[in-house]
């Protein structure tokens, strides 16, 4: 399976002064990669004619596909569109579909469509227009000596929409005649090297048309199988069988056979088991609840959370005994146990998760180490607690606590804690 090479060019002064974090490149790289297209390089340059031309020259020389994002807005500093038109020897013409779409948007927003807005409907006559249903700037597809150069707006959700609807399906058709399929095995609790050692013999037995990738994250490692073959049905069967082999070998640490985030895995369990969930968050300040509610439909099982940042609220709303906090401290096994148990009755839920910890200096830092976190999960029969220590700064410690907290909840409901 020999791969196609791509380069990504992101354009915009805001990238070079660090005002914007480039999330587009990661999204594009990930989706090209799933298709079997390798990203060789990613380059960011400013809204500068010479810099853009240099980047185009260099990347077109080494890659079969060049994807450009940014610089397509209507303001004066967005020079990508006329520049690309000229670079490929075309001229700008008004596209009727884009014009209708633009006028439609302006009408809906109750804004007058001015003469200068006409510019936004212009496209190079030597490109295929990639319709942008989410915004005003259309994408462009240029064919040049067997190479494909694509320009997309820099607004992330516009870029994603055009890639999904217009670009990725065309790439599939154009560059690959074979079917491409994926399978995932999501694991938690062990590191990459442990897993690699454990599945070594199976990995070595994989046929040439099936590849295995390790994608580690916080507390988790995702394994992704990618297969490519002419016969899609046969390939699907093969992949299923390999996935099963890996999953069986890693039995104890497998948490899903699908590449979805942990909050989604949790959500499916709660829906399937018709159970409800409530939380009490102290040190994470609502950040775990935020993750749980990122899942569409989470209101079916997630009833809510008491962000009990002050001891007052731990006592008054969640009924933690004053004595417990005085004797053991707010960051203690005793307090987190009462938080989890009382959350069951206060929020009237089947399962509860509670967390209390010290994320930075202050509070109880004379008594306990900064980074100490207690978590608890409870149902009506039992409560389990666990102590963690996170060594980073406040934001990073919070991130770690979210991952570890959701993982602890997953282990509890699956009887693995």
Whether 9 and 43 have beta carbons less than 8 Å apart is answered as yes
User: Given the complex with a second copy, which of 186 and 279 has the nearer CB atom?
Assistant: 279
Size of the site for a second copy (CB under 8 A): 75
Site for a second copy in 154-213 (CB under 8 A): 157, 213
Residue 223 φ/ψ, nearest 5 degrees: -105, 130
281 scored as a contact of a second copy (CB under 8 A): yes
Q: Which of 11, 22, 36, 329 binds a second copy (CB under 8 A)?
A: 22
Task: Choose the binding region for a second copy from 89-97, 111-119, 162-170, 293-301 (rule: CB under 8 A).
Answer: 293-301
Distance, in Å, from the CA atom of 34 to the CA atom of 11, rounded to the nearest integer, reads 24
Total residue length of the chain: 417
| Cα 154–chain centre separation | 18
Q: Which of 69, 120, 132, 298 binds a second copy (CB under 8 A)?
A: 298
Task: Choose the binding region for a second copy from 64-72, 312-320, 369-377, 407-415 (rule: CB under 8 A).
Answer: 312-320
User: Given the complex with a second copy, which of 55 and 247 has the nearer CB atom?
Assistant: 55
Site for a second copy in 56-75 (CB under 8 A): 58
Distance, in Å, from the CA atom of 41 to the CA atom of 58, rounded to the nearest integer, reads 10
* Least spacing, CB of residue 395 vs a second copy, in Å: 6
What lies within 8 Å, CB to CB, of 95 at 6+ separation is: 121, 122, 123, 129, 138
316 scored as a contact of a second copy (CB under 8 A): yes
Task: Choose the binding region for a second copy from 19-27, 114-122, 180-188, 195-203 (rule: CB under 8 A).
Answer: 19-27
Binding mask 23-52 for a second copy (x = CB under 8 A): x-xxxxxxxxx----xxxxxxxxx----x-
What are 361-366's contacts with CB under 8 Å, separation 24+? 363/330, 363/331, 364/329, 364/330, 364/331
DSSP 374: E
Site for a second copy in 335-364 (CB under 8 A): 346-348, 360-363
Residue with tokens 């249903």: 133
User: Given the complex with a second copy, which of 90 and 304 has the nearer CB atom?
Assistant: 304
136 scored as a contact of a second copy (CB under 8 A): no
* Least spacing, CB of residue 131 vs a second copy, in Å: 18
| Residue 189, CA distances (Å) to 68, 217, 411 in order | 38, 11, 10
């Amino acid at each position: 399976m020999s791969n196609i090479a791509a380069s990504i060019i992101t354009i915009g002064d805001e990238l070079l002064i660090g005002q914007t974090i480039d999330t587009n490149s990661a999204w594009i790289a990930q989706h090209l990669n799933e298709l079997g297209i390798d990203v060789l390089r990613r380059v960011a340059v400013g809204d500068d004619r010479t810099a853009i031309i240099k980047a185009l020259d260099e990347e077109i020389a080494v890659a079969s596909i060049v994807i450009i994002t940014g610089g397509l807005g209507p303001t004066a500093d967005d020079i990508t569109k006329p520049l690309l038109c000229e670079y490929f020897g075309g001229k700008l013409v008004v596209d009727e579909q884009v014009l209708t779409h633009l006028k439609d948007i302006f009408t809906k927003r109750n804004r007058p469509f001015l003469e200068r807005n006409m510019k936004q409907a212009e496209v190079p006559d030597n490109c295929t227009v990639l319709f942008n249903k989410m915004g005003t700037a259309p994408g462009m597809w240029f064919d040049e000596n067997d190479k494909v150069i694509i320009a997309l707006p820099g607004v992330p959700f516009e870029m994603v929409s055009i890639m999904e609807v217009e670009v990725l399906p065309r790439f599939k058709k154009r560059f690959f005649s074979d079917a491409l399929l994926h399978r995932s095995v999501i694991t938690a609790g062990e590191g990459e090297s442990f897993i690699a050692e454990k599945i070594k013999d199976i990995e070595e037995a994989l046929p040439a048309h099936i590849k295995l990738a390790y994608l580690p994250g916080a507390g988790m490692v995702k394994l992704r199988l990618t297969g490519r073959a002419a016969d899609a049905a046969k390939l699907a069967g093969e992949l299923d069988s390999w996935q099963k082999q890996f999953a069986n070998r890693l039995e104890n640490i497998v948490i899903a056979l699908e590449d979805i985030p942990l909050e989604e895995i949790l959500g499916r369990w709660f829906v399937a088991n018709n159970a409800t969930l409530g939380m009490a968050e102290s040190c994470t300040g609502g950040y775990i609840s935020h993750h749980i509610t990122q899942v569409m439909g989470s209101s079916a099982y997630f009833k809510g959370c008491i962000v009990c940042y002050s001891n007052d609220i731990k006592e008054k709303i969640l009924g933690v005994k004053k004595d417990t906090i005085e004797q053991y401290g707010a960051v203690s096994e005793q307090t987190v146990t009462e938080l989890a148990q009382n959350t069951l009755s206060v929020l009237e839920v089947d399962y509860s998760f509670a967390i209390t910890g010290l994320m930075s200096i202050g509070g109880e830092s004379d008594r306990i180490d900064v980074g100490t976190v207690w978590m608890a999960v409870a149902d009506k029969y039992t409560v389990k607690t666990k102590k963690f220590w996170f060594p980073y700064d406040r934001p990073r410690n919070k991130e770690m606590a979210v991952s570890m907290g959701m993982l602890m909840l997953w282990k509890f409901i699956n009887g693995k804690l």
